[in-house]
Amino acid sequence: MTPQPRRAGRDDLAARAAAVTAHATPTPPLAEDTGASEPRPRGGAPAPRTRPVRITVDLAPVDHMRFKRWCDDVAPDVGVATVRASEVVRVLLAFLHERPELADDVVRELRTRRDI
């Protein structure tokens, strides 16, 4: 005897989805639909970005290991069990804006690495 699929559960889920869709308010088109980065209000001015932007960085395995080890090593100094890589990146970005000498060092290093 083969088991029958749970049809009632699927029908219930479909009915709930239809009910939600029927009561949903229209949303602005997605960025990929319009070619814009954010929906624009009437008048043509770009809407200010309000949601965080995700970035992705590919690291060599040894660099990733060193970064994670550094985060683990400083966690007790910070007074937490774990320091997230994203926290470190946010602090470094803030430093680039707050410390012109650091930004200059980064620019010099970028030029050097491109010359290699």
Q: What's the pLDDT at 44?
A: 75
What does each of the 116 residues of the chain score in pLDDT, given as a tens digit? Answer: 555 555 556 666 666 666 665 555 555 555 555 555 555 556 678 888 889 999 999 999 999 999 999 999 999 999 999 999 999 999 999 999 999 999 999 999 999 999 86
- Model-wide pTM > 0.75: no
Angle 89-55-81 from CA coordinates, rounded to 5°: 40
Q: Are 82 and 69 in contact (CB under 8 A)?
A: no
